[in-house]
Each structure stands twice: as structure tokens, then as C-alpha cells.
Structure 1
Amino acid sequence: MIERLISLWPARTGAAPIVPERSVAGRTLLLLITIMSFLSAVTLGGVVLMQKSAIAWSADVGREVTIQLRPVEGEVMDSNLRSAVSLAESTPGVASARALSIEESQKLLEPWLGSGLDLTAIEIPRLVVVQLSDPAEADIEGLQRNLGAVKGASLDTHAAWRQQLNTMAGTIVFSGLMVLVLIGAATVLAIIFATRGAMATNREIVDVLHYIGASNRFIAGEFQGRFLSIGLQGGLLGAVMALVFFALIGTAAGSMLPSEAGAQVGVLFGRFALGWSGLFGILAVVPVIAALTAITSRTTVRRFLSETS
């Protein structure tokens, strides 16, 4: 009945609606929500990229174990290397085993000792890299027992590295969620201030609506519809900007950075390939921001009306 009365209320030419379509507060809120949506989408995309990279690193590390052979007096290193390779290749679940050459072993020491050092006079430990065809089926315990017959041999399953990678991934996900919570809280506060400002600006219209019998629920619905529109527009703009951002960063990382730096960035972020999960996550920001905007504005309007009535 009240809604029908409102529809029959005579409107002046050029009169402002209950909630102005275009106002300084509305444009400012739209810009703010766009920025918040962009930050939320970028944070979510970064979390997805890092989590995918961590999972890939953990899987790669889990498919490889290393046999270390320390120099032992009276033992021939080349013979021990052949024995270790033979034992690894005969282990169920092992795809291949390869002993690193002296040059490759020295190359591994360069980050700590520097390049250009002559290590030929030093008997350095040697490594055998073992690739697993199926980490779940590989008989690692049996390989470790068999290596007991080779003096100076020890097996490194990289379990500590995998644990650190999993911890890092969990920390990144948790930190990303905390950032999203903070962005959401800032967005809610901005919507509250914008809604109360719009209510104060349109107080005369609200008083007229009250005078003809409009309920607080109806007035709150009008504001909710307007702020829902702002939330949808801002959320969509922010999500599109985030997708463009990742596309530009991925292109820049692949073409503008030096080959070494580009390779390192690719290892860290996977060439910024979000995948379907990342795309869906960023697009999900749009309805979440819109719903948050609508619910917050409605709650704020009803509380404001109850305080002033």
C-alpha cells in the first residue's frame, strides 16, 4: 500500500530521486569500492599464485631424493658412486639415478664459495640424484638400508624442505586472508560513512516519506538498491583491473626482464598464470563486494532511522 502511494506521489520535473543517482558521495564511494575490489582481487590472485607455486615445488621436491657420498679413507669414490647408482636403480618406485660429475658438484658450491676456485685438490662429497616414478610406492626405507653397505653414503629425502614449503604456503594463505579481512573492514567503514552522509543529505526526502507513512524497511530498501548498484559497478571495475594487472605483469615478466630474472620470477609465480581457480576467485570478488555493500547500507540506514525517529 505504501509503495503504491509512493508511486502516485507527484514528482517535479528534474526532481532528485530518493537516493541520487549521481552525487559527489556516490562517485567517491564508487571509486573507493573499485580500489578496494582491485586490492582484494590482487591479494587473492597473489595468494593463489603463491599457493600453486608452493604445491608445485613440494611435488617436485617429493619426486626426488639425494644420495650423498662423503670421502672415506681407503674407499674409491667412483666405485662407491657406481654402487649407489646401482642400488637406487634396483629400488622399486625409482625412475632413474644419476651421479653428478665433479664439475656439477663444484657448480653447486659456487653460491657459497664463489666462482673461479680450484677445488681439484680437495676431495669434496659427491651426489647421486634419484628421480622417483611414484613417491607413494617408492621403497625409500629399503634404499636407506641397502645404502648402509656403502661407506660414507647417506640418503636425504628432502622432508625438511617440503615441510618448510608447506609452512610457507600456509603462512601466505593466512596472511592473504588477514589482508582481505582488513580490506573488507575498511570497505564496510567507508560504506557506513557514505550511507550516513547520503541519509543526512536527503533528510528532507526521508521526512516526507515518513510523513506519508513509508516504513523504515521501505526506505532502507531504496538505499540498499542504490548501494547494491554501486557495489556491483565498483566490484566489476576492480576485478577487471586486477585481471588486466596480472596480464600486464605476466607479459612484462616474460618479455621485459632479463632471462635470468625472468626465469626466477617464473619459478616464484609460475609466469603469473592464475588458472581457472584464480579467475573464478577474482570474479567472485564482484558479488561478495556487492552483497557487502548492500547489506551494510541497509543495516546502516535502518539504524540511522531508528536513532532519529
Structure 2
Amino acid sequence: MAMRGSAIVASAALVSGLAVTQPNAQAASAADVEAYPVRPVRMVLASGPGSAPDVIGRLLGNKLSEIWGRPIVVDNRPGATGLIAVETLAKSAPDGYTIGMFTMTNLIAMLMYQKYMLATELGPVTLVGTTPFAIVVNASTPVKNIAEWIAYAKARPGQLRYGSTGMYGSLHMCMEEFNAINGIKMTHVPYKSAVPVMTDLIAGEIHVFCPAVPMLPPYMQSGRIRVLGETYNEPTKLMPDVPPVSATVPGFSLYGWYGMHVPLNTPPAIVRKINAELVKALKDPKLAKLMLVAGAEAVGSTPEEYKAFLDKDSNHWTKMLKQSGATLGKPRP
């Protein structure tokens, strides 16, 4: 497992200290486990073809197909910020032949909907990978780092605007948490996707944005934005010359992530086999390199570590959503 992944899951495990259990799990004979899979396996994804989760999912699917000698059939179920896909997996037979990869954005959405909680209503398999976000401003803004941005924003309470890709999504919550920690007041402007946000940032219509790092290279090359900090606690291979925000704001971090799940009550022996093969795949240098190109750093964890990670992340985002004024159980706008 990569050092970053080890640190994340180890920290979560210390918080939880609980093993993964799936009450009433179906029994699986040794012969069933040894033979698994004997037919194609479906992988449910919560976003459409060509998206980052789709690319990561297909890379993993191809590798698993090589290992198992069985097709991995990708089933894209975009919509409702992941609710459609998560519900599809939750209602699938718990036999190991339907798996699903979801993200931090999907976890936050399920907390908002109060349906199909990733930490408790699906079976955890492994933390697949992580991806950082970054706090960026227009290149003409008279600040060069996070400390200068905090001072600049505090001197203009209520006068600045930040963009996101929608209420209570990860890009919204990134800035909400950053502003809350630093006592900054500014106006949130939600958009439907990240590209229009970046367009308006460059045009000066908004002042700051917290997008996922993989979308930034072309904008950085244009010289029209300035990246102030990335959201890991440590430097990232995806943006090695950019300092972590936490170097200036202790306690602030945001790890975007991808995680593999199965329906609750999938036999533990089958879960362990899927986990073992996924971790093996994620240790493959070729796959790790391809994932890095797609914007994710490979991890690989035990189901227990991933469950503890999900519990910790669910508690964190529940607290942040409530602090932001969200009403849990009410569908997002």
C-alpha cells in the first residue's frame, strides 16, 4: 500500500478500532470461493463514460479481468449524485457478482439524502485510490500563497465569491471548511459543472475555487490562474511543486477518494478474495502509473481499514454539512 494510503487508513482504524462484520452473511463453501468468479462480474459506477471514476473503474476492471480470466462488465449509472448507482448495488444479490466503485462526492450525497450510507449499508472492500484538490485564484489576484489569501479575504468580509459544482458537493464543502477554519466570510456561487466555474474565475466573476487537481494542468499552462495550495497533508506526485494548504492551516485536508464496495451480506470469504485481487492489482506499477495519469494515487487497503475510513469520513462530513446549514434528509437542489 502506498504510504499516503497507509496513513489514511491507519488513522481511521485508530478512530474506529472495529472489524468489518456483515450480519446474516450468506455462507460460501471453500469450493465456491476457490472457483469464484465463474461468470462475468458487473461493476456499477456512479458517473458517465469518460469521467475520472469511469476511467479508474475501467482500468481496475481490465486488470481484474486479466487476473480472473472473466469479463468485468462496467455498468454506468449516473444521476442524482450517485444515488441511482448506490441503490443499484445495494439492491443487487450479495453473491460477489456485482461490485461498485464510489467516491467521496457520493458519500456526501448519501449523507444528504440519508439513504444507502456507504459506511453501513454497503459492504466495504478496499480504498482504491485518492486524489487531491487545490485552492486556486485568478492570476491577477495580488496574493501568492495561502497565508496571503487568508489575509486578503479577511480584509474583504462578504465581498468575495467562490464557485463550486453544486450545493453540498465536495467542491462546495472544500471552501466551506476552509472558510470556517479561517473565519472567512464570502458568498457561494454554485454551478452545474467545473468548466464554467473556471471560466468565470478567469473572467473575474468569482474569486476562488477548489477543484480536483486533474483538471488544472491546461489552466496552469495558460498562466491565467494561480494555485495556492493542494489539500493533502503532504506533497502529491500529481502537483509536486505546490505546497499543502495544511502547512499554513493545520488541520485542513481534503482527500478525494475512490472505494470499492459490494452489497451488504456478501459472504466474507468472497469479500476477502475480491479484496486480495484488488490489492494485488493496485500494487502493479503499470496500473498505478495509469491511475496517476488519470489523476489518482493507488492505495489498496483491507476491508476493515476501509470501513474505519468510511466511518471517520461520514462523521466528518455529517458535522460539516450541519455546520454549513444543510438539512440532512432533504434532496440537494
Q: What range is the shorter-chain TM-score in? A: under 0.3
Q: Which has the larger radius of gyration?
A: 1
Structure 2 length as normaliser, TM-score?
A: 0.22
Q: Greater share of helix residues, 1 or 2?
A: 1
